Amino acid sequence: MKTILTERFGIEHPIFSAGMARVAQAELTAAVSNAGGMGCLGGVSYMPEALTAEIEKIESLTDKPYAINLLLPASLTTEDEEAWRPVRELWGRLSEEERGKMAGVEALLTKGAVADQVEIVLDAAPAAVTLTFAVPDWFMEECRKRDIATIALAGSVGKAREYAEAGVDFIVAQGTEAGGHTGYVTSMTLIPAVVDAVDVPVIAAGGIADGRGLASALSLGACGAWVGTRFIATPEAYGHDAFKQRVIDGRFQDTTITFSYSGKRMRAFSNDWTQQWESSGEDGASGFPAQYGVAGTRVETGYQDGDLTEGMMPVGQTLGLVHEMKPAGEVVRNMSAEADQIISALHERLR
């Protein structure tokens, strides 16, 4: 299957694994890339030294192209002491044990850590960097100097236009079905609308877990698929077995939109914590990223301990299409082969 995505990166299948924070570590990133897709490291999860080590690990596991996901809103890159003060106060109230439990969000609560992440990623020069929430001009310029492709996630036509004007190479049009931070518009509506609105190649996200989803994305005008939830249920993904099994056993109605973990709109498993937050009438008043400090260790215990009652477990609505654990490479190859068969069969049927 040849698209502008496969041609740009020299990959076999037009499939990206999403840069899921904590879930997408070196093993998953390398496995997807080795299978002919494009693996993406959730770079936001790492303090600088750990990020360097994780990139080195990827490059020891694969010689294929890969991407790194970063969060670069002004709230994380600012040097303003006053802007960081409330976040640091929240962090300071946590015990050493609690801080250890929250290792995956420490960089988002530490002044200067994201700036250091940027320098490390630019020095590593991966094939692509995927950006969430913002595409700063200064970062775009640095990527151009190093021939690093830039890919921005958009949940609306307006954001897609903004990112296209900023000069990104690809846009991920992500429907609200997607897990993690997500928007309001369904993929079936958003993807063709973004394709029509911008001249930048579009990658489809949200609601894609198999070859049928990939074939649909291509038919809507996308050049490939950005897949998250399906890769949670793989041996290479980071996460407690209870979390992965819940994805396999889950039903469409098991997810909810909540502000209770990060302060931003997130699709995750509904549980006691999200239900209590909703019934309290709160809407994530502490904002991003300070809400991580409010949620405390819950933002990690879902991944680390399989805490199904309060732990943060981002997941998309495609959990209803995930029925078994499979190696990530098998997921990539099966998805591509199934999409190819569907497209070929449709071509024959419509001749």
pLDDT band at 1 (very low <50, low <70, confident <90, very high): confident
Residue 131 pairs with which residues in a beta bridge? 70, 152
Q: Give the span between the Cα atoms of 251 and 255, in whole angstroms.
A: 8
State residue 92's pLDDT score.
84
Q: What is the pTM of this model?
A: 0.95
**What are the residue boundaries of the structural domains of the chain, listed by start?**
4-242+324-350
Provide the edge-to-edge strand list for the sheet that holds 39-42.
15-17, 225-227, 202-205, 170-174, 149-154, 128-132, 66-71, 39-42
The 3 state secondary structure assigned to 254-270 is: HEEEECCCCCCCEEEEC
Give 100-140 pLDDT, tens digit per residue. Answer: 888 899 999 899 999 999 999 999 999 999 999 999 999 99
The per-residue DSSP string of 284-306 comes to -TT-TTHHHHHHTTHHHHHHHH-
We find that the CATH architecture of domain 4-242+324-350 is: Alpha-Beta Barrel (3.20)
Per-residue pLDDT, averaged over 91-96, amounts to 85
Position 100 scores a pLDDT of 86
Which runs of E-coded beta strand occur in 175-259?
A: 180-181, 202-205, 225-227, 255-258
* pLDDT tens profile 332-351: 999 999 999 999 998 888 77
The pLDDT of residue 283: 59
Flag whether pLDDT at 290 surpasses 90. no
Condensed to tens digits (0 to 9), the pLDDT of residues 193-216 reads 999 999 999 999 999 999 999 999
Structure tokens at 250: 């889950």
pLDDT tens digits, 228-283:
999 999 999 999 999 999 999 999 999 999 999 999 999 999 999 999 998 876 65
Rounded to whole angstroms, how far apart are CA atoms 318 and 310? 21
Nearest to 2 by CA among 226, 231, 218: 218
Instruction: Indicate whether 185 pLDDT > 80.
Output: yes
pLDDT at 282: 63
